Amino acid sequence: MKWIRTVRALRAALDPLRSRGIGFVPTMGALHRGHTALFDLARRECGVVVASIFVNPKQFNDPSDLAAYPRTEAEDGELAAAHGVDVLFVPPPDEVYPSGFATQVTVGGVALGYEGAFRPGHFDGVATVCVKLFGMVQPARAYFGQKDAQQVAVIRQVVRDLNLPLDIRVGPTVRDDDGLALSSRNVRLSADERRRALAIPRALAAGLRAFREGRDPAAAAREVLAAAGLEFEYADVADFAGEPTLVVAVRAGATRLIDNVPLRDPQAAGLQV
Ligand code: PAF
């Protein structure tokens, strides 16, 4: 696996390989099995696999969240290599946002509400960095996790609206044995917070059962979260490109966790119901 830190070196490495089909997995590092499942999927589907690690300052509306974001570059490199990544692109901030950088992608539609409402500017930051990374890597396919369902919907909208020449592929949510969706933020949970956070997959499962029985999925989910004493920012059924998706955002202590289940495609959420 090649480590690359500049756009010039990335282009030089990838230009001769383009005809093999480049699969790209953008990440912010602190890699876990959710990421490695995307590397594996890209490995099966593409001739060349590129991953990036870049903790994108533009998508953090809370400076303390950015400062606390885990950074584990050496371990990340080992995991990426073990899962078939050919090129690991790890640019420093000024390679992505050099001095004088003054462009931003602003997304409406599906970016409004939910994460868009609770994290102002977040999706503009995600869209801006993804458009830049797509321009740098020029992949045929880019891979994202279902865990960030609204992010997937936003990226699809950007790709469609800007006629970007790549396919977006989505890997199912990966969960720990206790049902908690894997997230780089889980390491910040105390044992007690983690135990309480297990109400999240239970709430999604209750919502899914309600949907199947013709009851209100959001009300069923809220009931489970409230009974566990979990403070939630939202627990609602979102419409992501016609797909009804039960989405929740919860605070466990200082840590904010999101999760979801597409009600007509629950396997994508990795839930055992
Ligand atoms: O999902 C993430 O890790 C980030 O939002 C992404 C897509 C790598 C953009 O910074």
Exposure string over 161-183, b if 16+ CB within 10 A, otherwise e = eeebebebbbbbbbbeeebbbbb
- Protein residue with its CA nearest to atom 3 in ligand 1: 27
Given 136, 171, 206, the domain boundary residue is 171
Instruction: Name residue, tokens 């797909």.
Output: 243
Task: Give catalytic residue positions.
Answer: 35
Same domain, 74 and 40: yes
Distance (Å) from CA 212 to ligand 1 centroid: 32
Residue 273: predicted pLDDT:
75
Q: Is 148 in the pocket of ligand 1 (CB under 6 A)?
A: yes
Distance (Å) from CA 57 to ligand 1 centroid: 11
Cβ atoms of 153 and 240 within 8 Å: the answer is yes
Residue 246: predicted pLDDT:
98
Same domain, 29 and 158: yes
Calpha distance 49→46 (Å, rounded): 7
Distance (Å) from CA 19 to ligand 1 centroid: 26
Q: What is the pLDDT along the chain (273 residues), one digit of tens a residue?
A: 999 999 999 999 999 999 999 999 999 999 999 999 999 999 999 999 999 999 999 999 889 989 989 999 999 999 999 999 999 999 999 999 999 999 999 999 999 999 999 999 999 999 999 999 999 999 999 999 999 999 999 999 999 999 999 999 999 999 999 999 999 999 999 999 999 999 999 999 999 999 999 999 999 999 999 999 999 999 999 999 999 999 999 999 999 999 999 999 999 999 877
Given 147, 171, 195, the domain boundary residue is 171
Ligand 1 atom with least separation from CA of 184: 3
Give the residue, out of 97, 130, 131, with the most ligand 1 atoms within 8 A of its beta carbon, to mutate for a pocket test: 130
3-state secondary structure of 270: coil
Domain that includes residue 192, residue range: 184-266
3-state secondary structure of 255: strand
Instruction: Name residue, tokens 């908690």.
Output: 180
Cβ atoms of 217 and 210 within 8 Å: the answer is yes
Ligand 1 atom with least separation from CA of 148: 1
Residue 272: predicted pLDDT:
72
Q: Rounded to 5 degrees, what are φ and ψ at 45?
A: -100, -15
- Protein residue with its CA nearest to atom 8 in ligand 1: 27
Given 145, 171, 197, the domain boundary residue is 171
- Protein residue with its CA nearest to atom 2 in ligand 1: 27
Q: Is residue 75 included in any domain, yes or no?
A: yes
Length of the chain: 273
Cα separations (Å) of 270 from 38, 68, 174, 205, 248?
Answer: 14, 28, 6, 11, 15
Ligand 1 atom with least separation from CA of 130: 9
Calpha distance 166→148 (Å, rounded): 19
- Protein residue with its CA nearest to atom 6 in ligand 1: 27
**Total number of domains constituting the chain:** 2
Residues contacting residue 1 through CB under 8 Å, at least 6 positions apart: 77, 80, 81, 85, 86, 87, 88
Q: Is residue 273 included in any domain, yes or no?
A: no
Kindly report the number of other CB atoms within 10 A of residue 204's CB atom: 29
Angle at 10 between CA 52 and CA 75, to 5 degrees: 35
Residues contacting residue 110 through CB under 8 Å, at least 6 positions apart: 150, 153, 154, 157, 240, 241
Same domain, 155 and 259: no
